[in-house]
Amino acid sequence: MGYNIAIDGPAGAGKSTVAKRVAQKKGFIYVDTGAMYRGLAIHFLKNGIHPEDREGIIRACQDADVSIGYEDGVQQIYLNGENVTGKLREEAVGDMASKSSPIPEVREKLLMLQRSLAREKDVVMDGRDIGTNILPDANVKVYLTASVETRAKRRYDELAAKGISCDMEQIAADIQERDYRDMTRDNAPLKKAEDAVLVDSSAMSIEEVTEAILELCE
Ligand code: DC
């Protein structure tokens, strides 16, 4: 069993930014499980499946193979052998990932991959159900959150920096909708594990959050 750091929390809380820094400082690998759900989502979209077509999604799971690799330390996602990393952040992909991830067959598909990575290597793994379900015995568990306003502002700034025009209220509404879906699904919903440390990053810098998590590892 490797040393496992589990970081869960809602979209936009800063999980991936912080997890990458913690991984770098510790010399661990960073495993972004949301990217795996996004990889599967690309498969569903490629097959023309509607996000509400539960049966279609279950059927399509049978011929999807998601695997990960690292290039210069950066996680790559392969879907049936093709590197789809560049497409993971598209809006439609995130929407499909959020809508298809409650389906047990979808989660089942990724569970073994996530657990076996953590068994073999020292990892910082982020997602929604890592501390509660995937790695219940993780050495360190963090529930990283921030207010909806903070998360919407971060997303807004990120898009604005790329020259993409967007509406703050719409972003906040989308975040709330995704939170609701992730937190209320029957199967492995997003929630704080009882033994996870709650970190609210609303008024914290990336460095402060990273330091707080590193201190928990000592
Ligand atoms: O973290 P993210 O935005 O890349 O995740 C996309 C979706 O994948 C998210 O809305 C819910 C799902 N997901 C999940 O159900 N379980 C995880 N461990 C990670 C992500």
Residue 192 Cα to ligand 1 middle (Å)? 15
Nearest-angstrom CA–CA distance, 182 and 6: 17
Query: How many angstroms separate the alpha carbon of residue 55 from the centre of ligand 1?
Result: 20
Which protein residue has the closest C-alpha to ligand 1 atom 14?
Answer: 128
Span 49-74, pLDDT tens digits: 999 999 999 999 999 999 999 999 89
Distance 161 CA to ligand 1 centre (A): 24
Which of 40, 66, 98 is the best mutation target for the ligand 1 pocket, counting ligand atoms within 8 Å of the beta carbon and taking the most?
98
Show the ligand 1 pocket: residues with CB < 6 angstroms: 11, 33-35, 37-38, 94, 97-98, 101, 127-130, 178, 182
pLDDT (mean) for 197-212: 97
- Among protein residues, the one whose CA lies closest to atom 5 of ligand 1: 34
Q: Which residues have a Cβ under 8 Å from the Cβ of 144 and sit 6 or more positions away?
A: 7, 8, 9, 13, 14, 15, 18, 199, 201, 209
Q: Which domains does the chain have, with CATH numbers?
A: 29-121 (3.40.50.300)
Confidence grade of residue 1 (pLDDT, cut at 50, 70, 90): confident
What integer pLDDT is reported at residue 91 of this predicted model?
87
Confidence bin at 26 (pLDDT 50/70/90): very high
Between the CA of 207 and the centroid of ligand 1 the distance, in Å, is 24
